[in-house]
Structure 1
Amino acid sequence: MSPLTVTRTLPADATTAALRADVAHGLTRTPKQLPPKWFYDARGSELFDEITTLPDYYPTRAEREILISRSADIATATGARTLVELGSGSSDKTRHLIAALTGLHTYVPVDVSETALTAAGEALLTLHPDLTVHALVADFQQGFALPGTPGPRLLAFLGGTIGNLLPEERAAFLRSVRDLLAPGDALLLGTDLVKPEPTLIAAYDDARGVTADFNKNVLNVINRELGADFDPADFHHVALWNAEREWIEMRLRARKELTVKIPALDLAVPFAEGEEIRTEISAKFRQEGVREELGVAGFELSRWWTDEAGRFALSLAVRA
């Protein structure tokens, strides 16, 4: 069996430092906001896994449908010998790609969680003992270097996660991805598509309240890590469709006037009744918009696949 290598590019205290900075900046600005990455502690990850099984939450199932039906086409089009995956988590969906990429030599999962990377890498090596797995503990938005691996490379960014980035952040991210790749290497990008507002709202505000618990979990993270005294019951989960921007916004709305103390930051945060924290945007895309954003970043869109219902897309783009 090939070895599993884990390289840490983040300092040991990087996560805590980033949380402190994001909370201090986000809760003292107007309007208040927090990045969605802080949803995902162990409990948040469990809640998100539950969300993906809900009847109205289609993105995970739709993307998996495309991967199952199109992985062989992706393998033929790219001939990838190295597969890089950003935000790899459990590497669950990527297994369809790995099975199809018959010439694959190295898999490079990139995630902030060393525990998740190790567990996923070990599980993959039991299925593909000849595969080389070189995991990187890194934040894909902070910049990192890829290990020396054979080309051509295929970099996968799945789950529609690119929709969590603001347009200027997306542009910077896509340029950084281009800079990681050589001419002829490819990017496989998952994007959720624009669809009727009721379908989108149902996906982000389920009747069972799982998404509400997931949204409020960011408050539990701040309580635990920074000693804050948020009471999640003081906030209401809100999901809104911004038709002009074509994105969903998740927010937490204060049910009453209150002040939250965050001792680790020596900070007291006042909330008016009805005041909101924006915790996530989830942009939805159209094919021509994706083509344009990729083109500006130095990629040429070569393939476009959707699930049968046309809800979600995987695009394959080649670095120019």
Structure 2
Amino acid sequence: MVEQNIDTPAAPAKAEVGPASDPGRRPAQGARSKPRPAPGPFVEARDGAHLFRRDWGAGQPVLFLSGWALTGEMWAYQMLDLVDQGLRCVAYDRRGHGRSSDPGRGYEYDTLADDLAAVLEQLDLREVTLVGHSMSGGEIARYLSRHGAGRIARAVFLAPTTPMLLRAADNPDGLDPLLIDQVRAAMRADYPRWLDDNAPPFFVADTSPAMREWVKHQMLQCSMKALIDCNRASVEADFRDDLRRITVPTLVLHGDRDASAPLALTGARTAALIPDSRLVVYEGAPHGLFITHRERVSRDLVAFARS
């Protein structure tokens, strides 16, 4: 496999246009002076939603955020590997996903970033390595721009959908809005069938049928409200300004056969916008590289968490 390393790159000129914001973006509320302890396996979000979390091992903390429609279980293999290396691993299910509550609201990035803040505060995690896949790269970027890096030591973007997916005047290479509407219509009509139809490019040819079913099972645990709203948020958000404001060392891992988040549109531009970043390209890797290249992902995470 081939690595392409980009250290402290300059942002592309065309990405410099316009401030980044979600519609209705609001300032963050002040953090609690004394974090409340998380009750059992759940963390309570600021609006009362309950977020299911897994918390394994001891040592320096690594906090995992799941991709669109996936749960914290997606990180099981990486968490086992990192726990074996003496790290503490925490993962939680996004609201409306897996075992977390489904409030039917809060699927825009400001609230999702506040959910991440609640997990960090209630578990009192510090010197954290944040790891996010796909749409959760936006949660990391929005958390850091909204809440600051006081608890965060470093960040990893795995196959991110940042900085901006949708086509616009200042993002001419983005996705066609009409195509996105067609995709959402297909999901609303028959989501299980949509998953089956779109599974092949997420994996590689030798990914076992059982592993594919395991991933599909997780994605079927996402509520339709969360599914559609999170898709809309991840496609329509603009994180260019958020990414420029990240101050912690950042690693971007991305496959050059990613059909869901093409490298040139997402991972390469994400690394170019973050001041202290490094891009590592996995040759032949698809969007599901946490499965298809799981041993290499684990090695890179361990090395970076200890850097």
More strand by share: 1
| TM-score > 0.5 by shorter chain | no
Structure number with bigger Rg:
1
Query: TM-score w.r.t. structure 2 length?
Result: 0.36
